[in-house]
Amino acid sequence: MDKNGRAMVVGAGIAGIRAALELAETGHKVLLIDKSPHIGGILSQLDYQFPSDHCGMCRMLPMIDRDDSSQYCLRKGLFHENIEILLSTEIISIDGEPGNFSITLRRKSDWVDSQRCIGCGICVSVCPVDVSDEFNEGLSYRKAIYLPVPHAVPSPYTIDAKACTRCGACEAICPTHAISMSSQERKQFRILVVDDEMIVRSSLMEILDTEGYSAEMAESGQKALEKLAQQPYQLMLTDIKMPGMDGVELLQKAKSLYPDLPVVMMTAYATVETAVEAMKIGALEYLIKPFDTEAIIDKVFKVYEKFELVHARKEEVGAVILTGGTAFFDPKQDKNTYYYGLLPNVMTSLEFERIFSGTGPTQGNLVRLSDGKPIRKIAWLQCVGSRDIQINADFCSSVCCMFSIKEARIVKEKSNGSIETVLFYMDMRTDGKSFQRYRDQAESLHGIRFERAKVHSIAPDADAGDLMLRYTDISGKLHEETADMVVLAVGQRPSSAAKLAESVGIGLNSWGFVQTSPFSPSKTNRPGIFIGGSFSGLKDISESVIQASAAAFNASKTIQRATCNVQRAKTDAPLLQKPPRILVAVCVCGNKNPLLRGAGVCQELVKEWMSDPAVIVAEFTDQICSEQGEKSLAELVGKHKPDQVLIAACLPYVYGKRRRELSQRIGIDPLLTEVVDISSLSDSEMIRCAVGMGIEKLRRMEDLPIETLPVKQKALVVGGGIAGMTAALGIADHGFEVDLVEQGEKLGGNLLWLNSSIEGYSMQTLLEETLPKVEKHPLIHVHTQTRVVSSYGQAGDFITTIESKETGVQTIGHGVSILAVGGTEAIPTAYGYGKSSNIVTQKELEEKLRNKTLDPLKLGTVVMIQCVGSREEPRNYCSRVCCPTSLKHALYLKEQNPDIDIYVLYRDMMSCGFAEAYYTQARKSGVIFIQYDPSNKPEVKISGNEVRVIADEPIIGKKIEIAADLLVLAAGIVPNLSNSLTHAFGVSSDQDGFFQEADSKWRPTDSMTEGIFACGLAHSPRSVSESVATAEAAAQRALRILTKNQLSAGRVTAKVHHSLCSLCERCIEACPYEARMIDPEEEKVMVNPARCQGCGSCATVCPNGASYIQGFSRQQMLAVIDAAFI
């Protein structure tokens, strides 16, 4: 069986992009598809993201071999040498097995040639159709030809085939002939209209003709069969009541001869029953007379679409990653007590996201769409369509709490605090790193009100457009409150792609979401097909990204180790010494550029440019974007043999692959071709300037050699818990040696005492399965009872000293480090812990249950207190696992002994995602949940063996006292990441001692120092399966380096003129990538080319240009700036 090195990623949202980039960076070819006409998924609609309230998506772009990829805003677009992107494409089927899948794709035909479209937008101005704009969540209108995402560059317009009337106006006006409306295509769609009534036939003919189809008539069944015999038709519309052969008979005969022919029955109201019967024997649809033109067009179009769409394409890939994203609850469904869709100022969170977006319907102004009034007060309602058993949504959607807090904070910031904001919620689920502090700040710093209450209905207030909210607080008291806008935090629903997953044999959970493996959340029950992002349940960005990386890791494992180091075409080094010979080609854009009309202007410009000794020829040419234009440019180059080429044209060249393609075609290094955008300039002087700047840039373009650093293709993993073992195994399975260092006596970490997961999967089994694989792996060297003493070096080349009692001190050379040192349960300092044997922590309870030293049958009353020492300073974070653990324990105890009274004292139950069902189950089984406020914590009284817990019960509004046989404290997790360890590796820890990521959302397992990664509990509190995901993600990040035998720097990297350097070291402090250091022996500032990202901070702080960016010399930049001034 041939293993196929390619992978396919289905869904180009952020998870898809991440997975594709991960694989591309390890040398795999990737086919990235999306059914929509743009990449970016839902994130393309969201301008602001927690916690920085900015975007930051670009931080996913490759930092190693960065010249292989685009390096601009990822929301605008993406290209990578190894990634092929297919948009408007869907999967029809997946056949085959891991390593060898055969996939059938269906791609919608593209009427706009993206290679030709220059994004001028003239087409939009002539389009007569207005349809609701899905990008703005239907809050505004767009044309049938439109930009799917307004910020995409190059701006590829697309035609909404369904809305388009084929009037041809855009085709006629397009300056680059990029649009070819398929009137021919529609003409190929032949429709036979069969009716005995002339008037019906001709009116139908007229409609179909206008729509561009080829329609023909037959006045009887017999005639129709004759016509069908003469040539193929794609659709038949037939009347039912006809003299002689009636419609049903015709249908039967036609179907027996032409089984694939779609037939639509036309019927008067009286014969609807017959029509329904007809559908049973093969009719596709029926239409009721008298006809509604719209209905006909719609029905016909549906058939036509199928005909048109079948441009099936087959692809062979080794592994598949499904990143199908999520769908959202539609609040119009159900009882709709919030009058969504009826009251204009009730909107969903996604719609509201468009309101404060600069590209949204109000251009980011916080006004009501209904009347344009400035918004004064907004109420967010949480859990709309989530945590609702009545509508079969017994799950939490995980992200909505933070999403709403973010929206409210942005509203506060945008309005300078003047807009009143209130969040109605059940539990505020701040279960991620730094979430709790973000929420606390929202309340204390931004003045956002948090109201623990369920709003049961909304009614229009007396004041026009305002809304009256009715809610009951926790004590059951009824309240009324008005707001002028209500945002519904709508929950998740399975995405439409879940059907696809099901059709290829992947199991779904009871709510229709993709079911993943118990301890590896990117694996499915079908080997070789993996899941990333929100497809298996809504996730925040960082978790999506982690899971996408994990999916990429598993895909990569499936398709074997990538050995290929992408070879860059070697180009002849341009010689600085040689005087420049520049060719200037100015595109007149189909003579549409008014500035270049009139020979006088052009001649003058040419004359001026040619007077520069560096310019050997300057010419005006047309449509360089077209095949013909490219050819004539190549001819010009062939004739004049320039060393540099300057193209003055429009935007698309500046971006994407085309510049490289063009460079290849004309045989000039892309470095020596420069493209200036003249399409948006308003006078010819500006064209003169723009071209002048380009000439100056090329005149001084230097050769930019690419530096490489050798890679030690070995890994060091610190920590032998499940995260460390998973990472080590993953890397070793890819064929690289791993040193696994564990401080303790045994591998296993927290699995050594954990019993089972909340779902009931045994941790014991997981450990028993993993341990021998690690211990017996020929490429893994396990060092137990060993600690790391020191580590230094750089990505690809580290040297670490480890020490053990047995073997003493040892040095290891390796290319990457993964920190998986884990975490432990915190030791409680409150609620009488340590003063009674009846007060235990969750871990102690788990151990007691595991070694059966606690008999549930002997327990009468159990009290559990959540958030012990957590979610308040100094440990102001949620440990994520304690609430599910309490639920797990409560359910287990109840199962063993249904008579136990169990009280859980909680602040916010953090049963996120599908763990919510266990919360519901616990309540159903009689566990009592009592909410407490941190300002009024429960009290514990101990006298002798007796433990009594006193707490305020908010529902009855009274103090209660519980005599507990057992008090369980949920103490939370503290990391094992010691200062000496972070010091040794030169990484940082966050405020709470967990690993500090390079970027919490977009580079969640990377440290700021390339080559050092972290996973598991050292990274953040998380469950076992979530730890595994981070381990797989970290391993994948490590593989980006390990799969290369040398790391190449980008062409644009920083350098030092040592003779000019005063050694003030300002550049070292300014470098955000720690790419600079001083070599004390040489007394020189050195740059690590692999770490350097060419950002230019060092060059900026250096006063005399001793520090500079290769490719942006001072002379060059000054000359370019100078040329900009006329």
Partner 1 sequence: MAITAKINVKDNDISAAIREFFISVLDTEDVSAILIPQHLPMKKMLMPTLVTDPQKLETADPLAPCFPMNAARLVSRLTRKPIGGKILVVLRPCEIRAFYELVKLNQGTMDELIIAGVDCLGAYKNSDYLRFLKQHGDKATEIFYQNALNGKTEITEGIDISPACKSCENPIPEGADILIGLLGADISNHLMIQAQSPKGEAVLKRLNLSEAEEPSSRKEAVSALISKRSSYRDEIFLKTHEATDTLDKLNNYLANCVNCYNCRVACPVCYCKECVFVTDVFNHEPYQYIKWAKRKGMIKMPADTVFYHLTRMAHISAACVGCGQCSNACPNDIPLAELFRMVAWQTQKAFDYTAGKSLDEKPPLSVFREDEFQEIVGIK
Nearest CB to partner 1, comparing residues 414 and 659 = 414
Nearest CB to partner 1, comparing residues 1024 and 1123 = 1123
Query: Binding partner 1 by CB under 8 A: which of 765, 1069, 1084, 1124?
Result: 1069
- Does 1103 sit near partner 1 (CB under 8 A)? yes
Distance CA 19, CA 533 (A): 9
Shortest distance (Å) from residue 415 CB to partner 1:
13
How many H-runs (helices) and E-runs (strands) does the chain carry? 28, 54
Nearest CB to partner 1, comparing residues 309 and 1077 = 1077
Q: For partner 1, which stretch binds (CB under 8 A), given 128-136, 254-262, 583-591, 1056-1064? A: 1056-1064
Query: Binding partner 1 by CB under 8 A: which of 1106, 1107, 1110, 1111?
Result: 1106
Per-position b or e across 290-303, b if 16+ CB within 10 A of its CB: eeeeeebbebbbeb
Q: Give residue 1062's identity as a one-letter amino acid code.
A: S
Cβ(863)–Cβ(905) under 8 Å? yes
Cβ(492)–Cβ(486) under 8 Å? no
Tell me the per-residue interface mask from 1013 to 1052 with partner 1, x by CB under 8 A, - otherwise. ----------------------------------------
Token reading at 688: 């003169």
Shortest distance (Å) from residue 1107 CB to partner 1:
11
DSSP string, 570-633: P-PPPPSSSPP-EEEEEE-TTTT-GGG-SHHHHHHHHHHHHTSTTEEEEEEES-TTSHHHHHHH
Shortest distance (Å) from residue 612 CB to partner 1:
8
Q: How many other β-carbons are positioned within 10 Å of the β-carbon of residue 1115?
A: 12
Shortest distance (Å) from residue 870 CB to partner 1:
28
- Does 1059 sit near partner 1 (CB under 8 A)? yes
Shortest distance (Å) from residue 11 CB to partner 1:
32
Shortest distance (Å) from residue 6 CB to partner 1:
41
- Does 1118 sit near partner 1 (CB under 8 A)? yes
Residue 212 falls in which region: left (phi positive, over 0), alpha (psi -120 to 50) or beta: left
Backbone angles phi, psi at 602, to 5 degrees: -60, -45
- Does 358 sit near partner 1 (CB under 8 A)? no
Q: For partner 1, which stretch binds (CB under 8 A), given 190-198, 290-298, 457-465, 1053-1061? A: 1053-1061
Residue given tokens 């009139």 in the structure block = 598
- Does 363 sit near partner 1 (CB under 8 A)? no
Nearest CB to partner 1, comparing residues 760 and 1103 = 1103
Token reading at 890: 């409560």
- Does 1101 sit near partner 1 (CB under 8 A)? yes
- Does 1065 sit near partner 1 (CB under 8 A)? yes
Shortest distance (Å) from residue 111 CB to partner 1:
38
The DSSP call for residue 483 is E
Nearest CB to partner 1, comparing residues 836 and 1107 = 1107
Q: For partner 1, which stretch binds (CB under 8 A), given 657-665, 931-939, 956-964, 1062-1070? A: 1062-1070
Q: For partner 1, which stretch binds (CB under 8 A), given 324-332, 516-524, 840-848, 1067-1075? A: 1067-1075
- Does 1072 sit near partner 1 (CB under 8 A)? yes
- Does 1115 sit near partner 1 (CB under 8 A)? yes
Q: Please, which residues have CB within 8 angstroms of residue 954's CB and are 6 or more apart in sequence?
A: 474, 475, 930, 931
Shortest distance (Å) from residue 378 CB to partner 1:
21
- Does 1063 sit near partner 1 (CB under 8 A)? yes
Here the contacts of 769-776 (C-beta below 8 Å, separation 24 or greater) are 770/722, 770/725, 770/726, 770/729, 771/725, 771/747, 773/729, 774/720, 774/725, 774/728, 774/729, 774/740, 774/747, 775/747
Q: Please, which residues have CB within 8 angstroms of residue 1111's CB and are 6 or more apart in sequence?
A: 671, 701, 702, 704, 1051, 1052, 1094
Nearest CB to partner 1, comparing residues 247 and 1111 = 1111
Name the β-bridge partners of 131: 142
Shortest distance (Å) from residue 977 CB to partner 1:
24
- Does 576 sit near partner 1 (CB under 8 A)? no
- Does 1121 sit near partner 1 (CB under 8 A)? no
Distance CA 783, CA 747 (A): 10
Query: Binding partner 1 by CB under 8 A: which of 651, 1070, 1077, 1086?
Result: 1070
Between helices 541-558 and 722-733, what is the axis angle to 10°? 40
Q: How many other β-carbons are positioned within 10 Å of the β-carbon of residue 47?
A: 20
Distance CA 318, CA 100 (A): 5
DSSP string, 308-377: HH---EEEEESEEEE---EEE--TTSTT-TT-BTTBTTEEEHHHHHHHTSTTSTTTT--B-TTT-PBP-E
Token reading at 1056: 């030092």
- Does 813 sit near partner 1 (CB under 8 A)? no
Shortest distance (Å) from residue 1063 CB to partner 1:
6
- Does 577 sit near partner 1 (CB under 8 A)? no
Distance CA 314, CA 632 (A): 35
- Does 437 sit near partner 1 (CB under 8 A)? no
Nearest CB to partner 1, comparing residues 400 and 1106 = 1106
Nearest CB to partner 1, comparing residues 3 and 1057 = 1057
Q: For partner 1, which stretch binds (CB under 8 A), given 31-39, 470-478, 902-910, 1111-1119? A: 1111-1119
Nearest CB to partner 1, comparing residues 98 and 692 = 692
Distance CA 69, CA 61 (A): 7
- Does 1104 sit near partner 1 (CB under 8 A)? yes
Nearest CB to partner 1, comparing residues 46 and 159 = 46
Q: State which H helix or E strand residue 811 sits in.
A: strand 808-814
Size of the site for partner 1 (CB under 8 A): 24
Q: Please, which residues have CB within 8 angstroms of residue 356's CB and are 6 or more apart in sequence?
A: 47, 48, 364, 366, 407, 410, 411, 414
Query: Binding partner 1 by CB under 8 A: which of 950, 1062, 1084, 1124?
Result: 1062
Name the β-bridge partners of 100: 97
Q: For partner 1, which stretch binds (CB under 8 A), given 346-354, 777-785, 1006-1014, 1061-1069? A: 1061-1069
Per-position b or e across 428-465, b if 16+ CB within 10 A of its CB: bbbbbbbbbbbbeebeeebebebbbbebeebebbeeee
Nearest CB to partner 1, comparing residues 980 and 1104 = 1104
Nearest CB to partner 1, comparing residues 443 and 1065 = 1065
- Does 293 sit near partner 1 (CB under 8 A)? no
Query: Binding partner 1 by CB under 8 A: which of 408, 1061, 1075, 1120?
Result: 1061
Shortest distance (Å) from residue 336 CB to partner 1:
39
Q: Please, which residues have CB within 8 angstroms of residue 963's CB and are 6 or more apart in sequence?
A: 861, 946, 947, 948
Which of 193, 266, 269 lies closest to 234 in space, CA to CA? 193
Residues 609-668 that bind partner 1 (CB under 8 A): 612-613
Q: How many other β-carbons are positioned within 10 Å of the β-carbon of residue 986?
A: 14
The 946-953 sheet, strands edge to edge: 939-943, 946-953, 958-964
Shortest distance (Å) from residue 1064 CB to partner 1:
4
Q: How many other β-carbons are positioned within 10 Å of the β-carbon of residue 96?
A: 16
Q: For partner 1, which stretch binds (CB under 8 A), given 766-774, 849-857, 869-877, 1115-1123? A: 1115-1123
Cβ(467)–Cβ(445) under 8 Å? no
Nearest CB to partner 1, comparing residues 860 and 1103 = 1103
- Does 411 sit near partner 1 (CB under 8 A)? no
Nearest CB to partner 1, comparing residues 256 and 1059 = 1059
- Give the footprint of partner 1 on this chain (CB under 8 A): 612-613, 1059-1066, 1069-1070, 1072, 1100-1101, 1103-1106, 1114-1115, 1118-1119, 1126
